[in-house]
Amino acid sequence: MAGPSVVFVLLLLRVPESPRWLVAKGQKEKAREVLNRLRPAAVAATEFSQIVGAAARDGDRRVSLAMVRLPLVIGILLAVFQQFSGINAIIYYGPSIFAAAGIGGAMR
């Protein structure tokens, strides 16, 4: 079972950093190098100029924790309440219970 995970991690080491992230961090030359490795020169130049233009337009609009706090709390609480409700046991054992009760079988 660990085999695919090990292969994934080893292949993950070859994945380059995102050119958009590099431009946002001020590393434009490194972003250009990554794009040149991934794309033909003409396409890389066009894409690089689009990335730089988009970064200049967007400025520094980062998502802060305050912006996602409520959705994050709701998502976590939903997962916790799902565990407390016991719905997983009902979903898992439901077919067995219905079969033992004589209800169920093939649907027609």
How does residue 108 score in pLDDT terms, banded at 50, 70 and 90?
Answer: very low
Residue 25, both tokens: 């961090």
pLDDT one-digit tens code per residue, 34-60: 999 999 999 999 999 999 998 888 766
Q: How far apart are CA 47 and CA 41, in angstroms?
A: 10
For 54-104, the pLDDT digits (tens) are 888 876 666 677 888 999 999 999 999 888 888 888 888 888 888 899 887
> Is the distance from CB of 47 to CB of 39 less than 8 angstroms?
yes
